[in-house]
Amino acid sequence: MRGDDSHHITPGGPCREAELSVESLADGGDGVAHFQGRTVFVPLTLPGEVVRASVPEWRAGVTAALVEVVRPSSERRPAACPLYGECGGCQWLHASEDVQRSWKTGRVRRVFSQTMGETCPEIPPVEEVPPVLGYRRRTVLHAADGILGFSARRSHRVTEPGGCLLLEEPLRLAVREMAAAVKSGMQLPRGCADVSLAGDGSRTAAAFHFERRPPADALARLTALTRHTGIAGAVICVGGAAVGTIGKPLLRWPAPGVPGASLLGRPDLFAQAHLRAGELLAGIAAEAIPEGDRVLELFGGSGTLTLAASRRAASVTSVEICSPALTLARKAADEAGITNVRFQAGDSLRTAGHLAAGGERFGTVLLDPPRAGAKGIAQAALAVGARRVVYVSCNPATLALDAAALRRTGFELTSIRCLDLFPQTAHLEAAAVFQRGESGSSDGALHDR
């Protein structure tokens, strides 16, 4: 059968069309096959399928272009998005959610087993988190050749965004309006390569990103564009730093675990993508904190976990290197009347060392680091005297590496929950709890405490 995958980009250089049997899925979600002794990655395929693909001939470990699914898997389904196969945003619209979660569970178990060996505990299955479409509240668009849209699959080209199925409805409409405006002649100022969009369910804000100082007419042109498209406000960023605002770009979401309070955000700052992520992750983290504990939060961001943690803890010291995010977290805490949180600017792991050197001690270390993980977290937790580490992660591979390091320094993994907060993609979130001194069961089985 030919269909949603037949327009996939053909790799450059000489290629040979071949029939391949897909054996498994790679970490990025591509199918894995073999051809003439070489490993070949075939996007948009599933294990057990027989496909025809255009295979580059010049090196090993290549990515082929899918031409035709000769014998489809019973788990294959029609991809609902007309851009699927061309847009690079989704890997698995062709796969059932059961297949996606099964693969994600296997991946978490594999990376933990590889890093922890015989000490690896049993990892529970990845949990479904509805909705599986229309869940994203933020996205990034790229500008090229007069088009504002998403990156094409494995290409520097830009595709028109259409009606992305992963986006929450108000954000989907805002993306469509802005892309249409740019296409119709309201061009972005020279040097604006990316536009971040985020919404809170009722309002949408944008961030326009420049590598260098924008031209003199940038403010007027971007103001006209935001007004034309109904964007509530925008942030102008140069080299990653905010240098100006248009309208009111501040967004508000209900603060998990703190009735009546709000989390504050901006489109240029990190926020959880799935509309239920904050609620679930903050709930798991807060529940893992012993009542009345002193908490050191690292990579605190704009307070997604902070406010919920403050309801359980005697005190929270929240460390974040991004000053605008820290400012929003402090403002959210002030608005909520929360007085037991101390906010501190700085590199998280270095600041933990400074606090330890100053004699400060904490019962729990809470962290939500970037994808690169938190190398050195085991030493930092020991230095501040922590008996518990609560670790939220978007990357199982770096979580497993840090888990192994924590294990070597006396912290046992006592619980872990893996949440499918990125349906239709190969990503997930996990929340793990480590305990020092009083540990898990002697046979290595995982249990909740």
In this predicted structure, the answer to whether residue 161 has a pLDDT above a threshold of 50 is yes
Residue-level pLDDT at 441? 36
**Across the chain, what does the average pLDDT equal?**
92
Is residue 337 classed exposed, middle or buried when 0-12, 13-18 and 19+ CB atoms within 10 A define those classes?
A: exposed
Residue-level pLDDT at 13? 66
Closest by CA position to 196, among listed 144, 220, 231, 248: 231
pLDDT tens per residue across span 165-213: 999 999 999 999 999 999 999 999 999 999 999 999 999 999 999 999 9
Closest by CA position to 114, among listed 434, 368, 398: 398
Is residue 113 classed exposed, middle or buried when 0-12, 13-18 and 19+ CB atoms within 10 A define those classes?
A: middle
Sign of CA dihedral 266, 269, 271, 273: positive
Instruction: For residues 183 and 341, give the distance between their C-alpha atoms in angstroms, rounded to a whole number.
Output: 47
DSSP-derived 3-state class of residue 424: coil
Q: Which residues are catalytic, by number?
A: 394
pLDDT tens per residue across span 70-127: 999 999 999 989 888 888 889 999 999 999 999 999 999 999 999 988 878 899 999 9
Residue 445 — pLDDT band, cuts 50, 70, 90?
very low
Look up the CATH architecture of domain 117-128+274-436: 3-Layer(aba) Sandwich (3.40)
In sequence order, what DSSP letters do the residues of 12-79 get, joined into one string?
SS-EEEEEEE--EE-TTS-EEEEETTEEEEETT--TT-EEEEEEESSSSSEEPEEEEEEE--TTB---
- Strands 50-56 and 388-393, by their bridges, are unpaired
What is the identity of the amino acid at 346? G
Instruction: For residues 297 and 380, give the distance between their C-alpha atoms in angstroms, rounded to a whole number.
Output: 12
φ, ψ at 54 (rounded to 5°) = -90, 110
Residue 239 bridge partners (DSSP): none
Look up the CATH architecture of domain 1-75: Beta Barrel (2.40)
Residue 19 bridge partners (DSSP): 52
Mean local confidence (pLDDT), 156-162: 87
Look up the CATH architecture of domain 138-251: Beta Barrel (2.40)
In this predicted structure, the answer to whether residue 299 has a pLDDT above a threshold of 60 is yes
pLDDT tens per residue across span 353-396: 999 999 999 999 999 999 999 999 999 999 999 999 999 999 99
Residues contacting residue 17 through CB under 8 Å, at least 6 positions apart: 52, 53, 54, 55, 67
CB burial of 301-315 (b: ≥16 within 10 Å; e: otherwise) equals bbbbbbbbbbbbbeb
In this predicted structure, the answer to whether residue 6 has a pLDDT above a threshold of 70 is no
Q: Nearest 5 degrees, angle CA 251-CA 253-CA 255?
A: 135
Identify the weakest region by mean pLDDT among 47-61, 347-361, 373-387, 428-442.
Answer: 428-442
Residue-level pLDDT at 59? 67
φ, ψ at 70 (rounded to 5°) = -75, -45
Residue-level pLDDT at 119? 79
Write down the pTM of the prediction. 0.91
Residue-level pLDDT at 8? 40
Range list for CATH 3.40.50.150 in the chain = 117-128+274-436
Residue-level pLDDT at 85? 85
pLDDT tens per residue across span 307-342: 999 999 999 999 999 999 999 999 999 999 999 999
Residue-level pLDDT at 57? 79
Q: Nearest 5 degrees, angle CA 355-CA 326-CA 427?
A: 95
Residue 130 — pLDDT band, cuts 50, 70, 90?
very high
**What is the H or E stretch that residue 144 is in?**
strand 138-144
**What is the H or E stretch that residue 327 is in?**
helix 323-335
Residue-level pLDDT at 10? 43
Q: How far is CA 192 from CA 87, 231, 296, 441, in A?
A: 21, 17, 38, 55
pLDDT tens per residue across span 394-427: 999 999 999 999 999 999 999 999 999 999 999 9
DSSP 8-state symbol, 323: H
Residue-level pLDDT at 443? 34
Range list for CATH 2.40.50.1070 in the chain = 138-251
Pinpoint the alpha helices (H) of 184-276.
218-229
